[in-house]
Amino acid sequence: MEIYGKPDASKRRFSWELLRKLFNFPELIGLPWLVGDDFNEICFDNENLGGVNRAPAAMQAFREVLEVCELQDLHCSGEWYTWVNMRERTGLIFERLDRFVGNLEWKLLYPSASVSSLEFYHSDHRPIQISLCPHHSFSGN
């Protein structure tokens, strides 16, 4: 499933509410979940370089929805920051906004899956790619 966190921080809670509703939907309980794309939020301060710090409550809300939905970060190889604001050197900001997260059922189904970030291409976001096995992959963004 792809999810796009609202760019307006005050509306991002709607994305988190949607995830919670889907998690509690009876037909989806116990199924493998893979969720990814641009969440427009970071989990921790170290996922931001430059600019002003994110509001702790916003990061906490994101971490809470991942925890409630039993979704764990599928750690990414390659460049850590997946978004850049494309400004001049003094105003440059890098953030890790794009990621894949999965539940335990998904991780057990694809134990050798790997996530990597690719090079910027006509976007301020790096595409992220998940490889389920050596010869199959899916790119988000």
Binned at pLDDT 50, 70 and 90, residue 137 comes out as low
3 in a structural domain = no
The confidence score (pLDDT) of residue 135 equals 53
Per-residue burial over 110-127, b if 16 or more Cβ lie within 10 Å, else e, is beebbbbbeeeeeeebbb
63 in a structural domain = yes
What's the CATH code of the domain at 111?
Answer: 3.60.10.10
Q: How many domains does the chain contain in total?
A: 1
Binned at pLDDT 50, 70 and 90, residue 122 comes out as confident
Residue 134 has pLDDT above 60, yes or no: no
* Structural domain that includes position 46: 9-140
Sheet architecture: strand order including 94-95: 48-49, 94-95, 83-84
Binned at pLDDT 50, 70 and 90, residue 132 comes out as confident
On the 0-12 / 13-18 / 19+ scale of CB atoms within 10 A, 3 is middle
22 in a structural domain = yes
For residue range 73-105, list pLDDT tens digits in order: 998 898 889 999 877 777 899 999 999 999 999
64 in a structural domain = yes
For residue range 3-54, list pLDDT tens digits in order: 778 888 889 999 999 999 999 998 888 999 999 989 999 999 999 999 889 9
4 in a structural domain = no
The three-state secondary structure class of 82 is coil
2 in a structural domain = no
The confidence score (pLDDT) of residue 63 equals 97
115 in a structural domain = yes
Task: List the beta strands (DSSP E) in 41-124.
Answer: 48-49, 72-73, 76-77, 83-84, 94-95, 98-102, 114-117
131 in a structural domain = yes
Tokens of 114: 């790997």
Q: How large is the average pLDDT for residues 110-125? A: 88
